Amino acid sequence: MKTATLNKSDIGKCIDLLLQADLRVIAPRLQPQVDEDGPDALEVLTFTEVKSGEDHQVGEGLLPLNGVKEFLFAKHEPLFAYEKRGKKIEIIPVHHEYPQTVIIGVRPCDAASIASLESVFSDANAGFEDPFFTERRSRTTFITYSCTAPDSSCFCTSVELSPDSAKGSDLHLTEIGDGRLHVEVITKAGEAVAKQLQDLLEGEGDQAAREKAGAEVTEKLTRIRDSAPIMEWLMDTANFDDEMWQRLGEKCIGCGACTFVCPTCHCFDIVDENKGSKGYRVKFWDSCQFDHFTLHASGHNPRDWQYKRYRNRFNCKFKIYPEKFETPGCVGCGRCIRACPVNLDITEYMAEVAHKAANPNAMKADPDFE
Amino acid sequence: MIEAIRNQARLLLENGDVDVVIGYAEGSDPSRTTPIFIRKAEDVEKLIYDPRCINSLPLYLNKRHEYTRKGWKKTAIIGKGCDIRAIVQLIAENQLKRDEIYILGVPCEGVVSHPEKWDGSLHDGNRASKCIGCDVMTPHETDFFPGDKPDVDRSTPYEATSKNVATLMELELDKRFAFWRTDFDRCFKCYACREVCPHCSCNTCITDETTPSWIDPAAHKKGVFSWHLTRAMHLVGRCTGCGECTRACPMGIQVDLFNQRMKEVVQESYSYKPGYSLEDKHPLITYKVDDREDFIK
Amino acid sequence: MGKKIEIHDFEPKIMAFVCKWCTYSGADLAGTSRMDYSPNVRMIRLPCSGRIDPQFMIKAFEQGADGVFISGCHPGDCHYNEGNYYARRRNTTFRQLMDFHGIDIERIEFSWISAAEAIKWTEVIDAFTEKVRELGRHPQYDDEVVDPYAQFLVQNKQESA
């Protein structure tokens, strides 16, 4: 694997080089606030398109609020347009722009989630490839950046990842001290980008320093959970009605924030936006936490209580995904924990399941909840 | 103070006066607290109250969050002032009956604006802006309050607590609109702002209506503005200023700016502050024959 | 004997939400009396001005209206006794919301027009249309907002290529 060294202060120049090569560049950026220093002011870091190398926060702060999901799986997009003329319906094609894109500053958790999205949207074995996803995916290169300071909500090491992992990366950067970055070319796409930046890359990198930095940051994670027993416990159908679901999920308010910020969540809805006899068929993000997500036309709703909807989410992440696709359902980014207004914590569910798995005689049903 | 609350909660549960006590407990992080539903008297030790207790608990009394399906005949709830405003407003709107709620009031000196800003104590650098000028630090409507309840003058008119309202009003129209355009660009219609609101209680929210589709669910500008304007309009005269909508937004948008401006309008036009009276109807469902109409041709 | 109606480069679209007992009848009277007034107005007849949901007005702007006109019976004359009082309150607050949103509230007009006031109808409509014509096409709710996916249509791409 080709390696090199890059100065952290040259990242802005890297962005400029990529922009000059007519690439669309997406990087973490602090959003300007109207009230910059009031007591409510928060740093809002998001991945957005940047137009200059001076306007980025790559490698600073922690996780951008939005992740990279929206650049592969659009928040909303038209599938086609239509027009009704009498009894005839004409389908009018729409044209999407898929510019060549480089996303720089992606953390390892977000990078690992791409494999999960690919297993849903571009699995040739499944017999269907979503062109809206595959077109974007094939034109996107990921320059990833190892974490240096995980916060208390990060738990990637509990889901078989690490804060310096290069999974899903095309070109991987790790801070090795003295303002330098160790650069690893992982894929052909990464090689192409490295070529664009070759004037700024030098030397052979420093593998030992990179591994040391990786080990140091891995030590910093405080939220550690044992995920090994989870899938087996969930596969036992008797546990579907365990009392823990209602006890832990009672406070969930079904706001959907967790699903929208989650890098692997990918539910979507399709509606027709009508104006008279013309319209567009539109695909946009949906959430299994909404109360009408499983509402049937008959009025029956199999997930009619909020705790059942959260139970579904936990199952999806820790059983359905790994079982069906052999890719992680959860990458431990911690966004759901930070975003949840009522502090519903997926790692509490993980700990509870591990506890139940270790104590099979624990209470299954709670009479107070009858 | 919290010991008195715990003792009262224990008494209520032991005597079977209430089915559940809704309060705050330690969260999964030192900077966070979490709502807790206590059904057994021995669990009352888990109840806490400190400036980290930012949640508005009355949303669990809202039928949208399964309150009417739970079968609780009487519910005790811990409330700081702004939460009790929400409870009073729910009662004034006939969403709750006064005698099905037992309000355990707590004295409050303010809450932290966001868990990220908690550093061990509450101070001017991290106190939520909604707490500035608060007139319900000693709550106004309670069934139990630890200590004396001094008389407080709560007749001062409402003023927006965020500086941004005044800043925006000073901008010209197109600059104002440009602000909404950029700030709301990152809204992806997750509806967290709707779900944390204690007053959003429609069984089927207007955005979920599909025949006809009033508000486009997709997150383009039309869909985003349509949603936020509708939400602002549906809360006119009802929003009790808990600020939860802004706190809950996962993309850090200050969604309650609209609500704060409308509260100012309601104060100017009708001299009304929601959440202080159990009987008064809010301005949009009442009228006076001589209401102002200086803009009418 | 009618007014000369000129056609200008920009003809604004005015949406009018009117109550059927007073304003709509007043407009009807204007028509049957062969009075001329600006043809830009498109009317939606509702049973009462109190039926007017702010949602209608938001949607009117979203669908490309340049101005929105609301009218009903005079206070005290409402066919349902109180509907227009609620409409008045609703509009007092809705106007402020629109202003805060950055929409010129000169584009929203509210009037009391009774069934006998055909002349008032023509005067108010003419004046409002003129005002909106001078304000021009609605700059905030431009094509990007009104038709967000038009940019994706293949024919538009080919036209702009």
| No. of helices (H) and no. of strands (E), chain B | 9, 4
Give the number of C-alpha atoms closer than 13 A to the C-alpha of residue C34, restricted to the C-beta side: 2
**Whether residue A214 sits in one domain with residue A235:** no
| Closest residue to C139, CB basis, from B174, B265, B295 | B174
Is A363 among the domain residues? yes
Q: Which residues contact C65 (CB under 8 A, 6 or more apart)?
A: C13, C14, C15, C138
Query: Helix, strand or coil for residue B53?
Result: coil
Comparing alpha-carbon positions, the chain A residue that sits nearest to B23 is A251
Domain of residue C133, CATH code: 3.40.50
Is C33 among the domain residues? yes
**Whether residue A202 sits in one domain with residue A243:** no
Report how many Cβ contacts below 8 Å link chain A to chain C.
Answer: 24
Q: CA B113 from chain center: how many Å? A: 14
Is C8 among the domain residues? no
**Whether residue A329 sits in one domain with residue A305:** yes
**Whether residue A122 sits in one domain with residue A8:** yes
Nearest to B161 by CA among B243, B234, B82, B231: B243
Nearest to A120 by CA among A335, A293, A265: A265
> In this structure, are residues C52 and C95 in contact, taking their beta carbons and an 8 Å threshold?
no
Q: Supply the range of the domain harboring residue A287.
A: 230-369
> In this structure, are residues C160 and A95 in contact, taking their beta carbons and an 8 Å threshold?
no
Query: What are the backbone angles phi and psi of residue A225, rounded to the nearest 5°?
Result: -135, 155
Is C84 among the domain residues? yes
Helix C83-101 with B173-183: angle, nearest 10 deg: 80
> In this structure, are residues B76 and B7 in contact, taking their beta carbons and an 8 Å threshold?
no
**Whether residue A66 sits in one domain with residue A176:** yes
Helix C23-32 with C118-135: angle, nearest 10 deg: 100
Is C132 among the domain residues? yes
**Whether residue A276 sits in one domain with residue A140:** no
Contact C103 B222 (CB under 8 A): no
- Report how far apart the first and last C-alpha atoms of chain A are (Å, whole number): 60
Measured from the Cβ of residue A283, the count of other Cβ atoms closer than 10 Å reads: 19
**Chain A residues whose beta carbon lies within 8 Å of the beta carbon of residue C149:** 78, 81, 94, 273, 280, 282
Contact B233 C145 (CB under 8 A): no
pLDDT in tens, C76-118: 999 999 999 999 999 999 999 999 999 999 999 999 999 999 9
**Whether residue A110 sits in one domain with residue A45:** yes
Q: Which amino acid would we find at residue A266?
A: H
The answer, for C85 touching chain B at a CB cutoff of 8 Å, is: yes
Is A112 among the domain residues? yes
Query: What are the backbone angles phi and psi of residue A292, rounded to the nearest 5°?
Result: -100, 10
**Whether residue A194 sits in one domain with residue A116:** yes
Domain boundary among A198, A219, A240: A219
* Local confidence pLDDT in tens for the 370 residues of chain A: 789 999 999 999 999 999 999 999 999 998 876 556 666 777 789 999 999 988 899 988 878 998 899 999 999 999 999 999 999 999 999 999 899 999 999 999 999 999 999 988 987 666 778 999 999 999 999 999 999 989 889 999 999 999 999 999 999 999 998 899 999 999 999 999 999 898 888 888 889 999 999 999 999 999 988 888 999 999 998 899 999 999 999 999 999 999 999 999 999 999 999 888 999 999 999 999 998 899 999 999 999 999 999 999 999 999 988 888 888 899 999 999 999 999 999 999 999 999 998 887 766 665 555 4
Mutation target for B interface from A155, A342, A363, A370: give the one with most B CBs within 10 A.
Answer: A342
* Local confidence pLDDT in tens for the 297 residues of chain B: 899 999 999 999 999 999 999 999 999 889 999 999 999 999 999 999 999 999 999 999 998 888 988 889 999 999 999 999 999 999 999 999 999 999 999 999 999 988 888 988 998 888 888 898 899 999 999 999 998 888 888 888 998 888 888 889 999 998 999 989 888 888 999 999 999 999 998 888 999 888 888 899 999 999 999 999 999 999 999 999 999 999 999 998 889 899 999 999 999 999 999 999 999 898 999 998 888 888 888
Domain count, chain C: 1
Mutation target for A interface from C13, C146, C153, C156: give the one with most A CBs within 10 A.
Answer: C153
Strand blocks (E) in chain A: 3-7, 24-30, 45-49, 76-85, 88-92, 101-106, 122-123, 128-129, 140-145, 171-177, 180-185, 268-275, 278-285
Q: How far apart are CA A62 and CA A45, in angstroms?
A: 8
Q: Which amino acid would we find at residue B273?
A: K
Structure tokens at A172: 């991987």
Contact B196 A253 (CB under 8 A): yes
**Chain C residues whose beta carbon lies within 8 Å of the beta carbon of residue A284:** none
**Whether residue A154 sits in one domain with residue A19:** yes
Q: What is the DSSP letter of B62?
A: S
Is A89 among the domain residues? no
Amino acid C2: pLDDT? 61
**Chain C residues whose beta carbon lies within 8 Å of the beta carbon of residue A92:** 153-155
Comparing alpha-carbon positions, the chain A residue that sits nearest to C153 is A94
| No. of helices (H) and no. of strands (E), chain C | 6, 4
Which A-chain residues 152-211 have CB contacts (< 8 A) with chain B?
152-153
Domain boundary among A194, A219, A244: A219
**Whether residue A239 sits in one domain with residue A153:** no
| Closest residue to B129, CB basis, from A38, A260, A285 | A38
Structure tokens at A266: 């990918």
Contact C100 B221 (CB under 8 A): no
Report how many Cβ contacts below 8 Å link chain B to chain C.
Answer: 114
Is C63 among the domain residues? yes
Q: How far apart are CA A206 and CA A204, in angstroms?
A: 7
Nearest to A65 by CA among A45, A50, A49: A45
A158-186 residues labelled b (16+ CB within 10 A) or e (exposed): bbebbbbbbbbbbbbbbbbeeebbbbbbb
**Whether residue A186 sits in one domain with residue A243:** no
| Closest residue to B217, CB basis, from A31, A251, A269 | A269
A187-210 residues labelled b (16+ CB within 10 A) or e (exposed): bebbeebbebbeebbeeebbeebb
Is A194 among the domain residues? yes
Q: How far apart are CA A344 and CA A338, in angstroms?
A: 9
> How many Å lie between the alpha carbon of C10 and the closest alpha carbon of chain B?
21
Q: Supply the range of the domain harboring residue C28.
A: 14-160
| Closest residue to B173, CB basis, from C75, C85, C102 | C102
**Whether residue A235 sits in one domain with residue A215:** no
Q: What does R_g of chain C's alpha carbons equal in angstroms? A: 17
**Chain B residues whose beta carbon lies within 8 Å of the beta carbon of residue A344:** 34
Domain map (residue ranges) of chain B: 2-131, 163-285
| Closest residue to B233, CB basis, from C88, C94, C104 | C94
**Chain C residues whose beta carbon lies within 8 Å of the beta carbon of residue B220:** 145, 148-149
The answer, for A94 touching chain C at a CB cutoff of 8 Å, is: yes
Residue with tokens 């994670």: A221
Query: What are the backbone angles phi and psi of residue B169, rounded to the nearest 5°?
Result: -65, -25
Angle B134-B137-B142 (CA atoms, 0-180°, nearest 5)?
A: 125
Domain count, chain A: 2
Contact C86 B285 (CB under 8 A): yes
Contact B190 A257 (CB under 8 A): yes
**Chain B residues whose beta carbon lies within 8 Å of the beta carbon of residue A282:** 216, 218
**Chain A residues whose beta carbon lies within 8 Å of the beta carbon of residue C153:** 81, 92, 94-95
Query: Helix, strand or coil for residue A82?
Result: strand
> What count of residues does chain A have?
370
> How many Å lie between the alpha carbon of C76 and the closest alpha carbon of chain B?
8
pLDDT in tens, C49-86: 999 999 999 999 998 899 999 999 999 999 999 999 99
Global pTM value: 0.92
